[in-house]
Amino acid sequence: MTASARKDGMSMLVVDDEVIVRESLEGWFTEDGYKVDTAESARAALRLAAENHYDIALIDIKMPNVDGLELQARLGEVAPDLTVIIMTAYATVETAVSALKAGAYDYIVKPFDPDELSHLVRRAQEHRSLQSENLRLKHSLETVAPPVEIIGEAPSMARVHELIDAVAPTDATVLIQGESGTGKELVARAIHARSPRRYNPIVEVHCGALAEGLLESELFGHEKGAFTGANYRHKGKFEQADGGTIFLDEIADISPRVQVELLRIVEEKRVTRVGGKHSTPVDFRIVAASNRDLREEVKAGRFREDLFWRLDVVPIELPPLRERQSDVPRLAEHFLERFCKSMNRKGLSFSHEALEALQAYHWPGNVRELQNAIERAVVLGTPPTIEVSDLPHYVTDKTGARPSSGSLAEMERAHIEGVLTQTEWNISRAARTLEVDRGTLYNKIHKYGLKKPEHA
């Protein structure tokens, strides 16, 4: 064995029961500057592989006792990153298929054409380098991209953290439910980021934002000429998410027709583009989210029960912020730090009164509303402190403060009033947010004696 003269010092293991093959290849690759070891049997090869590190192994397919394919499988346990090339005296499709199925990089037929052998080993070497590069990039990506952080220490959030930790490493479908602004998208991202699929894309689809026809094309893709304006073949979101995660937000908003298609894809894991004749296998994980109670939607006949059961494999309920008021200061500090950094504002902190006001408010728009309030305060606040006056008026408005008794009527009154304040008393928008019709909203306003403030 000769020490490598190559800069990258690749090492090779040649396994063949014929001495002439071992000697020829040892000489050949030593001339090429590889560090070469040889083994006459599977047992000797396994011993060497356990004691040394090899980049490439050339293994004869036909050997006494343990054949090359069996050896390849055993080597996979000892040295999983070894690149294996199978040598065979007969080029048959069966041999090639068996070798490649067993995970070999490639195979070569004896006697070797020097050109072919040289190219094959060079390609294997490049393959190794790319693998190492890929691994290195993955590690550096983890350092550069910080993990998704979900802030919340309230007891109601402990269960959420537990569920994320448990479900993330699996491929199980997750259904996240919670009011608007509770952080459903953040949870979906956290699940993806902690899953083995994290190096592949997470593709987000806001189902409520697209019309039925568009959603179909957006989800499943379309073939050229499938409909007017389909000038190009288009890959759908499911195909884009191949190997990764698809996040279906506002899943309750999809039409019955798309629900049928979705059910089929979830069951078959195959996608047929709109206007297409053939289906394509796709490997994805579904994380769906809804701000409406999907069980209620099923009961009301608006959502397919069979699809619901497909999605509701691991349900995660996100509590509204008013149910974890103890998290408000930490969340507020988190957003303060983030916005100060992005707006290059230094030395800002909350006054005691401002923090009290933030904690007292019932946050109908949940964490997103809190985030917006802090962003506004960072813009308006004068260093060193953010005062109550820097917060949105509805946060500090006594009527908008969290009801003290906690009765259902009082909660409802406060919630309706909060939404009306948010929408600046735009009845249509408020009714949509509250998911009631305008008539019902007018009745509630009358019932609770709510009045539009003069400045709204």
Partner 1 sequence: MPEDVGRIWGVHFLRVGAFPPAAARELVVRISRRVAVPCKVLATPFEGEMPLLDGRTQVNADPLLETLEAQAERDNLLVGLLTLDIGSPLFTFFFGRARLHGHVAIVSLARLRPEFYGLPADPELTARRTEREVLHELGHLAGLHHCDTYDCLMYFASSVDAIDNRGSSFCPGCAERLPTGLLPRRAMRD
Based on CB atoms, which residue is closest to partner 1, 7 or 446?
7
Selected from 64, 80, 114, 439, the binder of partner 1 by CB under 8 A is 114
Would you count residue 129 as binding partner 1 (CB under 8 A)? no
DSSP secondary structure, 387-438, as one string: -GGGS-HHHH-GGGBPPSS--HHHHHHHHHHHHHHHTTT-HHHHHHHHTS-H
Would you count residue 112 as binding partner 1 (CB under 8 A)? yes
Selected from 17, 30, 180, 388, the binder of partner 1 by CB under 8 A is 30
Would you count residue 20 as binding partner 1 (CB under 8 A)? yes
SS3 56: strand
Would you count residue 329 as binding partner 1 (CB under 8 A)? no
Would you count residue 32 as binding partner 1 (CB under 8 A)? yes
Cβ atoms of residues 163 and 314 within 8 Å: yes
Cβ atoms of residues 369 and 181 within 8 Å: yes
Q: Which residues share a beta bridge with 320?
A: none
Would you count residue 17 as binding partner 1 (CB under 8 A)? no
Residues sharing a CB contact under 8 Å with residue 172, sequence separation 6 or more, in sequence order: 285, 313, 314
Cα–Cα distance, 213 to 219 (Å, whole number): 10
Would you count residue 126 as binding partner 1 (CB under 8 A)? no
Would you count residue 40 as binding partner 1 (CB under 8 A)? no
Binding window for partner 1 (CB under 8 A); candidates: 26-34, 36-44, 183-191, 312-320: 26-34
Based on CB atoms, which residue is closest to partner 1, 119 or 438?
119
Task: Name the residue among 376, 409, 442, 412 with its Cα closest to residue 452.
Answer: 442
Cα–Cα distance, 37 to 57 (Å, whole number): 10
Based on CB atoms, which residue is closest to partner 1, 28 or 448?
28
Selected from 28, 102, 127, 295, the binder of partner 1 by CB under 8 A is 28
Selected from 12, 15, 21, 431, the binder of partner 1 by CB under 8 A is 21
Would you count residue 10 as binding partner 1 (CB under 8 A)? no
Q: Which residues share a beta bridge with 86?
A: 59, 107
Would you count residue 281 as binding partner 1 (CB under 8 A)? no
Binding window for partner 1 (CB under 8 A); candidates: 2-10, 305-313, 327-335, 415-423: 2-10
Burial class (CB in 10 A: 0-12, 13-18, 19+), 259: middle
Would you count residue 425 as binding partner 1 (CB under 8 A)? no
Cβ atoms of residues 105 and 130 within 8 Å: no
Binding window for partner 1 (CB under 8 A); candidates: 114-122, 165-173, 203-211, 230-238: 114-122
Residues sharing a CB contact under 8 Å with residue 319, sequence separation 6 or more, in sequence order: 154, 156, 157, 160, 178, 182
Would you count residue 326 as binding partner 1 (CB under 8 A)? no
Selected from 51, 115, 149, 454, the binder of partner 1 by CB under 8 A is 115
Footprint on this chain of partner 1 (rule: CB under 8 A): 2, 5-7, 20-21, 24-25, 27-28, 30-33, 110-115, 117-118
